[in-house]
């Protein structure tokens, strides 16, 4: 393992329902505030679920020239904003001397749903000649990476993932591998999502995947609680700057934590449901620990997938117990989706950023709405209130439709 280069997190950029920017999002998490509220982006009166975790007050012109706004779906605009937050936070400057060794790897689980819906309506009402010439580049998944690369001047690896709710965990993990192998010195990595649209919400309603707690949206996302009834859809972006350690040191960068393990697996089981025995989740956590050369008992915190679905939460706990044994009852586990909602393809990037902040600040964000703990989810989920911790290793889990799984392991940086 000594031939692999060490990789650290030097910047975090978050856009969520809790706030536009890392500081605002982190503040909301530590306050235990829910971002769920009635949908305002469209008329949801005919939908069975009429609330979501929207990013309120987002003006793309704060980040993008007016002439470029129409060239970008909302998910791309979020990616641009979160990347700018991350770059500012990191202090990384891309110039002629390093451009070819700085890459961008930003994914989305769904891409430009709003743009696709709008242009389809144009097609039906006015015919194909009225379709915008920007339709395709505004909606396809890889244009989040494309725009960030264009705006920053990063000329290294430029790619995008689309692996459902594991998307941005894979983007960060694959970026980690690129740096380890020496194919890049720094990567702008994560995910972005903006699927709170009539079709997006309607599709998840048709699957009966969403909570229908329309009378109390702020109480709807309740991972590991026995009264949970589905997830709350969210939007936003999570982008991190990861760098080769010596590259970061040479420029005097502040280091949040070190990336020490990454794993992937497939359930090979079902299009949307996890294996009943947690097999895929078990194997991805074990692979990640093996990659880091770490014993399970060393992990102090897991930012879990924890979507607030009746089946998913229970099976994730089954997997945690299988991997960590008795230690599963000693370590802290929290689902920040209880506050941000589930950002689908952006969830992993957001949660990697949150995990990095938890290690840097030595504070565990809570799982809110854990009022009636499910006896089948008998773990320490940091219920309802954030708390201080002496934390050295932290894991972040992401699981997606199609049985695709990803996990990342981080270590508190010690010079």
* Nearest partner of 310 among 201, 196, 208, 383, judged by Cα: 208
Name the catalytic one among 47, 53, 162, 165. 165
pLDDT score of 391 more than 50: yes
Domain 8-415, architecture per CATH: 3-Layer(aba) Sandwich (3.40)
Average pLDDT over residues 114-138: 97
- The mean predicted confidence, pLDDT, of the chain is 97
List of residues 6+ apart from 19 with CB closer than 8 A: 25, 27, 28
Name the catalytic one among 53, 275, 342, 381. 342
| CA pair distance 398, 169, nearest whole angstrom | 7
Give the tens place of pLDDT for each residue, 158-189: 999 999 999 999 999 999 999 999 999 999 99
**Per-residue confidence (pLDDT) for residue 119, from 0 to 100:** 98
pLDDT score of 1 more than 50: no
| CA pair distance 6, 317, nearest whole angstrom | 31
**Per-residue confidence (pLDDT) for residue 4, from 0 to 100:** 87
Name the catalytic one among 170, 257, 305, 381. 305
Give the tens place of pLDDT for each residue, 24-55: 999 999 999 999 999 999 999 999 999 999 99
Q: Does 162 qualify as catalytic in the annotation?
A: no
Give the tens place of pLDDT for each residue, 351-370: 999 999 999 999 999 999 99
Average pLDDT over residues 385-402: 98
* Nearest partner of 135 among 126, 123, 147, 146, judged by Cα: 123
pLDDT score of 292 more than 90: yes
Q: Does 305 qualify as catalytic in the annotation?
A: yes
pLDDT score of 152 more than 90: yes
CA angle 244, 82, 72 (to 5 degrees): 120
What percent of the chain clears pLDDT 90, i.e. is strictly above it?
Answer: 99
* Nearest partner of 35 among 340, 349, 361, judged by Cα: 340
Average pLDDT over residues 199-212: 98
Average pLDDT over residues 259-280: 96
Structural tokens at position 170:
């894979």
Q: Does 47 qualify as catalytic in the annotation?
A: no
Contact, 258 vs 7, CB < 8 A? yes
The pLDDT confidence band at residue 2, using thresholds 50, 70 and 90, is low
**Per-residue confidence (pLDDT) for residue 293, from 0 to 100:** 97
**3 state SS for the chain:** CCCCCCEEEEEEEEEECCEECHHHHHHHHHHCCCCCEECCCCCCCCCCCCEEECCCCCCHHHCCCHHHHCCCCHHHHHHHHHHHHHHHHHCCCCCCCCHHHEEEEEECCCCCHHHHHHHHHHHHHHCHHHCCCCHHHHHCCCHHHHHHHHHHCCCCCEECCCCHHHHHHHHHHHHHHHHHCCCCCEEEEEEEECCCCHHHHHHHHHCCCECCCCCCHHHCCCCCECCCCCECEECEEEEEEEEEHHHHHHCCCCCCEEEEEEEEEECCCCCCCCCCCCHHHHHHHHHHHHHHCCCHHHCCEEECCCCCCHHHHHHHHHHHHHHHHHHHHCCEEECCHHHHCECHHHHHHHHHHHHHHHHHHCEECCECCCCCECCCCCCECCECCCEECCCCEEEEEEEEHHHEEEEEEEEECCC
| CA pair distance 388, 291, nearest whole angstrom | 28
Average pLDDT over residues 284-309: 98
- Domain residue limits, the chain: 8-415
pLDDT score of 3 more than 90: no
| CA pair distance 159, 108, nearest whole angstrom | 11
The pLDDT confidence band at residue 69, using thresholds 50, 70 and 90, is very high
Give the tens place of pLDDT for each residue, 97-118: 999 999 999 999 999 999 999 9
The pLDDT confidence band at residue 414, using thresholds 50, 70 and 90, is confident
Give the tens place of pLDDT for each residue, 135-144: 999 999 999 9
Partners of residue 266 on adjacent β-strands: 404
């Amino acid at each position: 393992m000594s031939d692999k280069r060490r990789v650290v997190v030097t910047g975090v950029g978050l856009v969520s329902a809790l706030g536009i920017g890392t500081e605002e999002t982190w503040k909301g998490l530590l306050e235990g505030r829910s971002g769920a509220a009635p949908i305002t982006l469209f008329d949801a009166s005919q939908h069975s679920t009429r609330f979501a975790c929207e990013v309120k007050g987002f003006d793309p012109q704060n980040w993008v020239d007016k002439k470029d706004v129409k060239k970008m779906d909302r998910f791309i605009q979020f990616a641009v904003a979160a990347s700018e937050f991350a770059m500012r936070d990191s202090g990384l400057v891309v110039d002629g001397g390093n451009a070819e060794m700085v890459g961008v790897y930003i994914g989305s689980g769904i891409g430009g749903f709003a743009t696709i819906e709008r242009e389809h309506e144009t097609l039906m009402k006015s015919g194909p000649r009225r379709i915008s010439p920007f339709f395709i580049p505004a909606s396809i998944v890889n244009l989040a990476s494309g725009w960030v690369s264009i705006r920053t001047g990063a000329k290294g690896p430029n790619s995008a993932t689309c692996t459902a709710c594991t998307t941005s965990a894979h983007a960060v993990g694959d970026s980690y591998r690129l740096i380890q192998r020496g194919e890049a010195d720094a990567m702008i990595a994560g995910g972005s999502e903006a699927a709170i649209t009539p079709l997006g919400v309607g599709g998840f309603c048709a699957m009966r995947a969403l909570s229908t707690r329309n009378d109390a949206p702020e109480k709807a996302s309740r991972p590991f609680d026995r009264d949970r009834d589905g997830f709350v859809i969210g939007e936003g972006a999570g982008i991190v700057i990861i760098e080769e350690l010596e590259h970061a040191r040479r420029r005097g960068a502040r280091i949040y934590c070190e990336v020490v393990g990454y794993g992937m697996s497939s359930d090979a089981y079902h299009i949307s449901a996890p294996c009943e025995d947690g097999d895929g989740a078990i194997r991805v956590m074990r692979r990640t620990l093996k990659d880091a050369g770490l014993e399970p008992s060393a992990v102090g915190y897991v930012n879990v997938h924890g979507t607030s679905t009746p089946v998913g939460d229970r099976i994730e706990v089954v997997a945690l117990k299988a991997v960590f044994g008795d230690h599963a009852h000693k370590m802290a586990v929290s689902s920040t989706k209880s506050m941000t909602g589930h950002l689908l393809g952006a969830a992993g990037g957001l949660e990697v950023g949150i995990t990095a902040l938890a290690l840097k600040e030595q504070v565990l964000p809570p799982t809110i709405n854990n009022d009636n703990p499910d006896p089948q989810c008998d773990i320490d989920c940091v219920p309802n209130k954030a708390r201080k911790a002496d934390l050295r290793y932290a894991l972040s889990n992401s699981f997606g439709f199609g049985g695709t799984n990803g996990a990342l392991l981080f270590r508190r940086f010690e010079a």
